[in-house]
Structure 1
């Protein structure tokens, strides 16, 4: 497992954004090796092992290295080695530390982080510079040096303290210094050779995915090698271009405000229908943000249309082929840097099979003590394919619910709400009743498998909370869904549904469906 390559692929883009210069990428690469060596020390790791580290906690770096002098050495040496401004280097390190920590924890899975890093130290030790012995625990420097494979030199100076200048008689001092200088030069040459080999190699992605998510709007599922998911906006229009449905997943309040301002400017008070999931697991930028006003104006002009903006893609649908073709062309002209595609025809069985596999993989990656939010997010990935007018849970979904029951027993404070939704093909009263019955059937099954009934709540929303249009087969499919979320009585809205905004109770409301 190439830990450094993984962090370079997953964390560096989130830290650097558009400023992805080779110098800064290389600086972060070297920092990851130093950081991993620090986390491999049980004593150092123990100071924050029980903390709930937020992904944007830039103060976390100061808790990893409590010694301000050591932090200065790291930023100063990395800045000098890569010709980067020292202030910029400090900022990059502070942003990267919590993200890298989460990625390493995810890679470790159920294995304690120090043990995981100790077992895989050969993956990162060659990236550790000579001067880093001054900022790493003495035991870790000694362990790393002793464990280094033949031909890989990390450091010939393994002192636990920064190197200090000692006055010696001139002749003896120079004689003693020459061998050390030679060894340092050899170490630097070896490190440069290893870097050159690495840069000329295109490594395969790490085999274990961090998060599996349902690709919005396409019906396909993809494995994402990072817990930082692209920010997204999903909207649907109704008759006369009114806003019918709106959901967004964003990494911070700044991006939420940017998107909401554009929505309000285009749709007026209808923009209040937008529900936002603000969570550090989503990106804090949206490539389409600069063209959002033009994009929204185009989609508003098409009745009963739907659109998903996610990463560099815009996926759209419309009631007829002619309108859809024109919509794709207009959006591509308005946002030439984006990839605009028409939503694929619905393949229901593929959607069901892929979603259950995705939910299973997400649960595999939860770790030993998962957060209730992550459990809810994983469960919400599954498509529950109910029969027409029925609330009978398919056997394929029961395996996932069994796993959820076991997790709830391990995490005593976990409380979940199960929310049922339908499309708009029947009358409103019938849809409300059916959605409640389906949510209740999920709870009843989990209770029959040993779940505490007091920790499972249900709510039927009927057709009142769509995430897509009801004019296309794909849109109706996505509106028929079961969602899991963390139950927090204080966070309920007027309909009694748990709010999904915020890091503690928010979940990613990806399109899931139950055939009606």
Structure 2
């Protein structure tokens, strides 16, 4: 049994199932990655358990968050494929690779797995790429400590080196000390070759990256994945009142539901559906249980966990800031901010309900056979889409309104609308503009899903530009966070 061949046969097919893009490059990258992964696990057996406990382990976890090495490795193995495609594929291979190891070893105990890897060392060593020794040196791994044979250090990727002529020569050689001063030179040559190969890959990637867009567009629409999102809110007693998640990973959503059930004892409170338009992972998602535990008991608080941002809001700014300070150390890759909740209760919420009722009624009054695009736009602009903090999720009350608008737009095939998103001036200007665009896009996508055609709709994000109220007041900030509809010229 050869563990490398098993990984190529079983894990590669599983990871690439349904993925027809850059298959040759991804197969090659996986083939190079398996022996590298197992060699690192042999050198650092404590990493086995760390990866097992990680819900969605990444390449950075394998390379001890040495992100420069991650980039170099992808450059070495990725060929002409986009770097993000290769990295995503390798990320997705780690968990099934560990599962296969456990199956073959008969246990997922780290000591059993470590001994199994050692028993397969000959196959692993023979499969290592020619540049592996230099790459391990860059990672700070001792080549001697990895257990390379003296010949394998230079050429293990080509073939196992055990032949009678070599043995005879080694026995006859009158100058055995020559190898002692040759090895530093060989190591330098390997490192030089590795650097040259990496530079070549980088130089090749520049034109390919620009050309790859047009090539892909010729065969498929370019789709930019939205970052995975999680939105949590508590009620006046600190109990969970809202939980919404968007991700393409069923395992992440299952983990979320399990954590909510365990921490809040509210298993059915979380609304989450697998959505291929979103990325699979949350940044620093291993801290999920800690974040849920911290927010529990804080009245009327909310958490928006999007991309590399985690925003905590509460009526009491001191509570929000305390929460932020407590979790910053748990989420080193997230930018954590604390906000005081703007006025979205009382008069503001009455205004939302009233506005949405008026919009709903106005759209109901438009007869499909006499629909006019200006009337549709006027009715849509009566509503208030009250997005949660940092969120692009459309509230259910607005979906009813958009459903009716989509039906009318189907009767107006020549109508063209612009959907514009705006925010208040709280927070980073660039992030606000990005959020406003996401919100506008989510409205466009929803309308298309309900029957409007893509050519009818355009999304624009204007961020904190063009305020319609005073941003120095909570009420003014609430009014400035809005979606506007306009007829496109």
User: More helix per residue: 1 or 2?
Assistant: 2
Same fold (TM over 0.5): no
Give the structure-1-normalised TM-score. 0.36
Give the structure-2-normalised TM-score. 0.37
Q: Which has the larger radius of gyration?
A: 2
